[in-house]
Chain A
């Protein structure tokens, strides 16, 4: 009996899984490091919001104290968790964009013919892109710190699990979307129809009580938007607190998006087979 067959019979060992995970993460990291513009734009985008947009609205808040804040905060402090979530949103979408690209270029075939289970490959890819987004977030938090946006010290540690969860949720959403896109060119549409509505109709830029005052419809939309809960989960975690509602919503949505993506990329049932992609 050949060794390969023996391996298949008893499955892969944990070490082998880890080698696979490392390979995928490494590729994602290399891709990220080599695309300097991407790193730069990933940082510049939230910084433009922080330095320019938030500067104009600096005086807007400070009229009401909402949890997790214990006192009055400047707008730039308020908007920071929203911008962190924005980094992760863009990263999740960009990572799925790279999946469309890989599919077009044929790289994905290489990945998907790997003997590892499909779900493991996809989850590995998801973890890798989340790790990259977390790097971006911490780089952003470092710059924000010197700009005067400072969270409690322990908040920088407690925000990490929230970043992992929100990164997974948004990455899984991107993955699900990527399975629906046949060509790279169609991606711009997704940006417009997914990223912008998700970002603007959420608590990222304005507290919900302010939204409620101006438009109850937008307020309801914000409440239905999973991104809102991602932002709030990060906001509370940055102040070493847990917002249980947000945690529950983000957890459930991650599971749903992930299940959707796994089904979509399943060669037997998935949308890929029907569309002739892959």
Chain B
């Protein structure tokens, strides 16, 4: 009687262990702005396993839709490098215009929208053909780019004009400009396309914009106990797949804000490393990674808590991060 009981118990325990672990069986790629490398982080081991040399000043980083290639902006080399996730070799380059910092992929995965900070324009690239297929003039110092889930509209923020520009992708034309707080850094659509959130680095706010009326519905402000308000500089924004919760990186506040995306109430601040910059979910959305520029590491947030469970050293000045299901 005892043995089958023990066996069942062991099997149950084994099942729990097995069920718990593959969730983390992902690989993260972190662009290190100062080291000119990409750190490859095994999220099962929670360790940096490799460092891949790339072009100068790598910043914006993305995975192609098929997960086979990593695209990384080598800002000081004025190009976008294509890296094979299998061999980790640079297999090609995409034209990008000068000083590419960040970009966004279209939902179909065939177009890339790059903000060219010094030229006040967004460059549109066809990834398959490796060709520039459009250039759209926008505000001064364009930065954040976000594509609507239906692939029709591009939102581009300009850091000096302090606007979010709504661009019709088919016509390559601005259709609306929304004035937001100083130095808008980043834009993000909800998964259902109902709202665009724009972070203002110097204003310290998030503007919630209705993409239909192009009006600001709400402004979200932050206050961290014991911190001066100047230290709170919102950068990256991520929504959980159900659009219920938003995570916002607060830069030199060293915190990630957890925001209820329905009521816009800030629920919590999670302590991560110094100058938290960009965020990325694991494909199962169970974990959120943050790049901490000044402490040279990434922090892993367990979304279910949400709690910060680990910080993993990477290269110097980590900027962006993507996670592949490998």
Contact = CB atoms under 8 A, between A and B. Distances in A.
Interface of A: 55, 58-59, 62-63, 65, 70-74, 150
Given A62-B254, A62-B271, A63-B274, A72 B311 contact: yes
B249 to A, nearest CB: 14
A97 B22 CA distance: 56
A59 B309 contact: no
26 contacts: A55-B225, A55-B226, A58-B226, A59-B227, A62-B254, A62-B271, A62-B274, A70-B309, A70-B310, A70-B311, A71-B271, A71-B299, A71-B309, A71-B310, A71-B311, A72-B254, A72-B271, A72-B272, A72-B273, A72-B295, A72-B299, A72-B308, A72-B311, A73-B271, A74-B271, A150-B307
Contacts, number: 34
Interface in B248-270: 254
Contacts of B309: 70-71
A62 B255 CA distance: 11
Interface in B285-312: 295, 299-300, 307-311
B226 A59 contact: yes
Interface of B: 225-227, 254, 271-274, 295, 299-300, 307-311
* Cβ-closest 8 pairs across A and B: A71-B311, A58-B226, A70-B310, A71-B308, A72-B271, A59-B226, A71-B310, A71-B299
Nearest to B254: A62
Given A72-B273, A72-B299, A74-B271, A65 B311 contact: yes
Contacts of B274: 62-63
A154 to B, nearest CB: 14
Contacts of B295: 63, 72
A72 B254 CA distance: 10
Contacts of A70: 309-311
A59 B274 CA distance: 12
Nearest to B292: A72
Given A58-B225, A63-B295, A72-B299, 6 more contacts: A62-B271, A62-B274, A71-B271, A71-B309, A71-B310, A150-B307
B275 to A, nearest CB: 12
A222 to B, nearest CB: 26
